[in-house]
Chains A and B, each alone.
Chain A
């Protein structure tokens, strides 16, 4: 990696940590430990299912909220506060700045997810008293969640490269919700004819397919995740993020920093 991108990424990560973003882990830990204790008391035979479902859903939601709310401010905050002026007056290209910011935020989310994953596994251990082979699939679900974060970060950066932080948050969150229903949208597109069908198909394939990246339910039931899906999802998330980041770079390259 270009060293300047690395420096910008590290600074972004350090800023997030010092701005107490990782404090969300405290809320997460409280939520999960409370749930685990409660589930241990009231559930019979489904403790694992409930903890995996609840834990992974919380990991996903906490991460998405962080990705959106930090992501939308990554560029606009630097313009508003004019911190960008002293960065771009150095031998730093605009694309390096955008990519560095992206890596910094995804790095923050990976670290955040790591700690939450540890929490999920501890809760699992608490309710089941031991790990089973199928718990390994939880790691795959966590990997898919990180892929979701990549896309959400890239979209937040893309929207914030030309829009206000509030509108960027609305657009990104809307796409996350629509994308979570992408499989249903694709099903709807298949049974619709004419212009509406064409439009539905276009939207269904244009919005990020977050539903394909959501395997929480299967993993909670102990179902295996096919290797092919892991490969396809990885390629899909990387390509989609790369496209969104390229869009952000193209817009940001031409932007006047008033």
Chain B
């Protein structure tokens, strides 16, 4: 069963003081996320990621379209007890301690009184906040608030978790912990839908990603598939202090760093390049096909439509080269 089915969801706001005119925040979004999937929603700031999440959470109302969450209409009150949500840059009741806040959210989520306290302590430990559980949130750093945010999102053991920029504002250690947490959720069989503009996180965590820009979904695909697309080039790394003359004539783009040379050249020239290295008695370190990174896919999808069509035509004409 699909965890989320977004069916032509659309949102526009009226802007302007006297003469109100509609501003489109999201254009006819159609997207399906399967159960157990970790889905990354990528896009620059203002692309429509948060609007999509707010629509799914019922915080804003769609201009058109609808969505089904866990097989129920998104307006169905039963949906809310099965989902968790971490908003972007979360801010909580700062008069409460972390423990009180989680207990309050547990009450609102219908976590039974018996076992609620144990569950709260378990969540605090899971996000590494057991030592600060009795401190008022007004004294928490941004990173600590983000952890509280994650704890409240998974407190009631939801089947589906929505995270809006979960790594935002975190230091490298914090980001690593959030990544681990998302991996754990995947292993527990949860569906995770998270928005981000940090592509390395998406590449490391997601089964599939969707790229949204200017309110329009520009592309969706499995990360493994997108990044396995060959570029028709190989990267050769070898020990040398300068680029051998024969290599430059093969069209290689080479870079020397210390005792190593890193050269990228067309796949067709691979054997000729290896012959050059053998002739010169140069020790080869590695030879790897150049794969497209998620970043390249992302940037391609963000370009204006005409540019992308032109790209597509070029790639069509280059046999064996992907999307």
Query: Chain A interface (Cβ within 8 Å of chain B)?
Result: 3-4, 7-8, 11, 14-15, 18-19, 81-93, 254, 256-258
Contacts and interface: CB of A to CB of B under 8 A. Distances in A.
A8 B105 CA distance: 10
A3 B112 CA distance: 12
Nearest to A258: B60
Contacts of B78: 91
Contact of A19 (B84, B95, B107, B149): B95
Interface string B96-110: 100000001101111
Given A4-B108, A11-B104, A258 B77 contact: no
A128 B287 CA distance: 100
Q: Which of B96, B104, B105, B108 counts the most chain A CB atoms within 10 A?
A: B108
A89 B110 CA distance: 13
Nearest to B82: A91
Given A7-B108, A91-B77, A91-B108, A15 B57 contact: no
B292 interface: no
A81 B110 contact: no
A89 B93 contact: no
A86 B90 contact: yes
Contacts of B96: 11, 14
Interface in B57-74: 57-61
B80 A89 contact: yes
Contacts of B89: 82
A81 B91 contact: yes
A11 B92 CA distance: 12
Given A90-B105, A254-B61, A257-B60, A83 B80 contact: no
A89 B104 contact: no
Contacts, number: 77
Interface of B: 13, 54, 57-61, 77-78, 80-81, 83-85, 87, 89-93, 95-96, 104-105, 107-110, 149, 152, 156, 162
A93 B108 CA distance: 10
16 contacts: A8-B108, A11-B93, A11-B96, A15-B95, A82-B89, A85-B85, A86-B85, A86-B87, A86-B149, A88-B58, A90-B108, A90-B109, A91-B108, A92-B80, A92-B108, A257-B54
Contacts of B104: 7, 11
Nearest to B11: A256
B87 A85 contact: yes
Contacts of B152: 86
Contacts of B80: 89-92
Contact of B91 (A83, A87, A89, A91): A83
What 5 pairs across the A-B complex have the smallest Cβ distances? A89-B85, A18-B95, A256-B60, A91-B80, A85-B87
Given A257-B59, A257-B60, A86 B105 contact: yes
A84 B59 CA distance: 9
Contacts of B61: 254, 256
Nearest to B153: A86
Given A82-B90, A86-B85, A91-B78, 8 more contacts: A4-B107, A89-B80, A89-B85, A90-B81, A91-B80, A91-B108, A92-B80, A254-B61
Nearest to A256: B60
B47 to A, nearest CB: 16
Contacts of A85: 54, 57, 59, 85, 87, 90
A131 to B, nearest CB: 38
